[in-house]
Amino acid sequence: MTTSATDHRAAADAAGSGGLRLLDVTLTLGDGDTAVTALDHVDLTVAPGEFVAVVGPSGSGKSSLLAVAGGLQRPTSGTVHIADTELTALSDKERTAARRRHIGFVFQQSNLLASLTVREQLLLPLHIDGRLDAATRARADELIEAVGLTHRTGSRPHQLSGGERQRTGLARALMTSPAVLLVDEPTSALDRVRSAEAVRLIAEQTHERGTATVMVTHDTAIMDAADRVYEMVDGRLS
């Protein structure tokens, strides 16, 4: 057995205990002369409660990494494991269900609905799933407090600052107690001080709630809060 195969065996074992694991993942986009290798043999393990940052320039493959790790896109080859589930072995329908159950996304644009209050943004997905009970409402209030927005519970997005919108997006992503939290450039709309605060809050919530968190960014200045930092260049992670 080669070293690499041994590593992969250990990786697959570790995946059974939770967290996120990408094994030898390659993603090719487009075809023929225009084909691009967006992810090139990527291996990545993130344990529960660990905060990993991936830094890289525009076009290096960061969005592709999140899309594949989050089950939004099937890799060309390789496997993705989340909690006890091999995402890449599932049908499209099963993968969607697993994504909703196990993964929280925080996107660059917080994608809040204009007509809903902060509290309603958190409750909506569970309302749609018919899971809106007293425990869910209590969880929403607990998360709103955890991200420091109790005084904004009844505010709508246009009444919130960029940082407050980001924090609402984070609280919403945590509503389902996801095993994995995927964060896309949380700081682009924020100034330096608020960027550092946003990243610290993500780190704190990761450690407290035991999510396996991956944050992608091109901003190398805000990496202090991460447990590990990887660099992405031309689809390769190092």
Q: Enumerate binding residues for ligand ATP (CB under 6 A).
A: 29-30, 36, 38, 56, 58-64, 218
**Measured distance CA(145)–CA(62) in Å, rounded:** 31
Closest approach, Cβ 52 to ligand ATP, in A, equals: 16
User: Is the Cβ of residue 3 or residue 34 nearer to ligand ATP in the bound state?
Assistant: 34
Closest approach, Cβ 37 to ligand ATP, in A, equals: 8
User: Is the Cβ of residue 43 or residue 204 nearer to ligand ATP in the bound state?
Assistant: 43
DSSP assignment, residue 201?
H
Cβ within 8 Å of residue 85, ≥6 positions away = 98, 102
Closest approach, Cβ 214 to ligand ATP, in A, equals: 13
Locate 98 and state its tokens: 């697993």
Closest approach, Cβ 234 to ligand ATP, in A, equals: 8
User: Is the Cβ of residue 120 or residue 231 nearer to ligand ATP in the bound state?
Assistant: 231
What are the distances in angstroms from CA 11 to CA 77, 80, 155, 175?
16, 11, 44, 28
Strand partners, 237: 232
Residue with tokens 């057995």: 1
Residue with tokens 């009444």: 159
Cβ within 8 Å of residue 165, ≥6 positions away = 110, 112, 157, 189
User: Is the Cβ of residue 62 or residue 95 nearer to ligand ATP in the bound state?
Assistant: 62
Closest approach, Cβ 34 to ligand ATP, in A, equals: 7
User: Is the Cβ of residue 30 or residue 130 nearer to ligand ATP in the bound state?
Assistant: 30
For the chain, what is the total number of helices (H) and then of strands (E)?
7, 10
CB neighbour class for 61 (10 Å; exposed up to 12, middle 13-18, buried from 19): buried
Closest approach, Cβ 208 to ligand ATP, in A, equals: 28
- Amino acid in position 167: R
User: Is the Cβ of residue 174 or residue 232 nearer to ligand ATP in the bound state?
Assistant: 232
